Amino acid sequence: MNPALSMNDSPWLWTIVLGLAFILLLGVGCAGTRQSTRLTLDDQEHVRSEIESQLRQSDLLADRTSTSPRMIISVRRFVNLSSDLLSDAEEWRLLERVWPEGVRREKNIVLTMSGKEARALAARDDAEVGTNAARVPTHTMDAVLRSTRRTSGTDRTEWYTFEYTVSELSSGVRQWIGSIDFKRTASGKVWN
């Protein structure tokens, strides 16, 4: 009796063995951690933290105190020129959270948004968002996200640049510019 099986002994057994071997090889080929160059919540928190730090050290806020004349900053729309799709909530988070409540209170700063944006936000989220005509903005804040993609072999790298600006409305002068650059790299086959 020969312990080795031949194709003639059991074709169904060989079909099952070959099928299991194929599944095993497929599983090993796709087993790596899924990597992406998409922005993560950790990336967004890193951006928020770095921009907040730059703001705290800026000349714009250096001489301000809680008794300084009120600075009313109209937060304008986030401009996304990257290949990533960000939700409205992510964009507003990246705008608003660089101004923590403590900094706003210490420096006598109020954030506001245009009536149009406030109404659009209220309509989307079923929230009550009021606009106050007495809050006439003295400054504006803009944010732009840019990205550049580089692909080589099995690697893809996305280079992100976040740029925030605060401008005085009466003069049109940019009083502060803060930016942060970082990259995310992913490896693997296109079909993974």
Q: Residue ranges of the domains in the chain?
A: 37-187
Confidence at residue 127, expressed as pLDDT on a 0 to 100 scale? 46
Other C-beta atoms within 10 Å of 112: how many? 16
Q: Which CATH architecture has domain 37-187?
A: 3-Layer(aba) Sandwich (3.40)
Q: Residue 180 belongs to what H/E stretch? A: strand 174-187
pLDDT the model gives residue 126: 47
* The residue type at 32: G
Q: How far is CA 96 from CA 29, 60, 78, in A?
A: 43, 17, 10
Q: Would you state the pLDDT for residue 58?
A: 92
For CA atoms 61, 176, 43, 183, the dihedral sign is negative
**Buried/exposed 169-178: b ≥16 CB within 10 Å, e otherwise:** eeeeeeebeb
Q: What is the pLDDT of residue 146?
A: 92
Query: Which residue stretches of the chain have pLDDT < 50?
Result: 1, 29, 31-34, 126-130, 192
> How high is the pLDDT of residue 33?
45
Token pair 């790596």: residue: 32
> Residue 107: its pLDDT value, please?
92
**Number of helices (H) and strands (E), helices first, in the chain?**
6, 5
What's the start-to-end Cα distance of the chain, in Å?
46
Cβ atoms of 121 and 91 closer than 8 Å: no
Q: Which of 160, 157, 150 is nearest to 186 (CA)?
A: 157
Tell me the backbone φ, ψ of residue 132, rounded to 5 degrees: -115, 115
Rg of the chain taking only CA atoms, in angstroms: 27
